[in-house]
Amino acid sequence: MTARDEILGRIRTALGPDRAAPPDVRRDYRLTDDRSPAQLLDVLTDRLEDYKATVLRCAPSDVAATVVAALRTALGEHDPTRVVVAPGVPSDWRPDGAVEDDGRPAVALADHSATVTGVSVAIAETGTLVLDGSPLSGRRALSLLPDCLLCVVTADQVVGGVPEGLARLDPLAPLTMISGPSATSDIELQRVEGVHGPRTLVVVLVG
């Protein structure tokens, strides 16, 4: 029995056998987006930049060069071996010298300056990147511990709204939703970046 099964079992026990059936959920919200793919890329770029992410757009043949340029801008002169990539990131996206995540202890990931991953889906309307724990996205710690996160997003991964995005995802996967660098304004409404994750988010948008 998983922890999830145990928690749900306790809830069912607490509610008892005579509980009323849950009401039907209204699904009358917008399920699709009529905007063109080019418009969705523009919307996604606008939203991400509004959240203080850096977005670089490139052709499919220029991904590696754009990743290298983006890392140089974000990190300055840096040791390439301090860049770690998710195991499923294609070889022609990887900067020379970067190391692949080999499942080392999570705390060791904090020694790296930056992470390069792909995404599972990107939602234009909310400016959200979704990582699903797959080899392309990498494990969750990979996107949280290094101080710079670079995500490569291809045009076919961009959808208009949240319902379209959720329809592409496995609900049981460990989803991480990212909209801009990690930030909080919990204390006196003063924005502080990097509290729960990377202070720098760079997106390479392909297409």
pLDDT digits (tens, 9 = 90+) for 107-132: 999 999 999 999 999 999 999 999 99
* Residue 13: predicted pLDDT: 92
Specify the pairing of strand 83-85 against strand 114-117.
parallel
Q: Which residues contact 128 (CB under 8 A, 6 or more apart)?
A: 122, 162, 165, 177, 178, 179
CB 101 within 8 A of CB 84: yes
- Mean pLDDT (the chain) is 93
The pTM is what? 0.87
Give the pLDDT confidence of 32-82 residue by residue, as tens digits.
999 999 999 999 999 999 999 999 999 999 999 999 999 999 999 889 899
The span from the CA of 6 to the CA of 23, in Å, is 24
Q: Which CATH number fits domain 34-206: 3.40.50.10420, 1.10.760.10, 3.40.50.1970, 3.40.50.150?
A: 3.40.50.10420
What's the mean pLDDT in 126-140?
Answer: 97
CA atoms within 13 Å, Cβ hemisphere of 204: 26
Specify the pairing of strand 158-159 against strand 121-123.
parallel
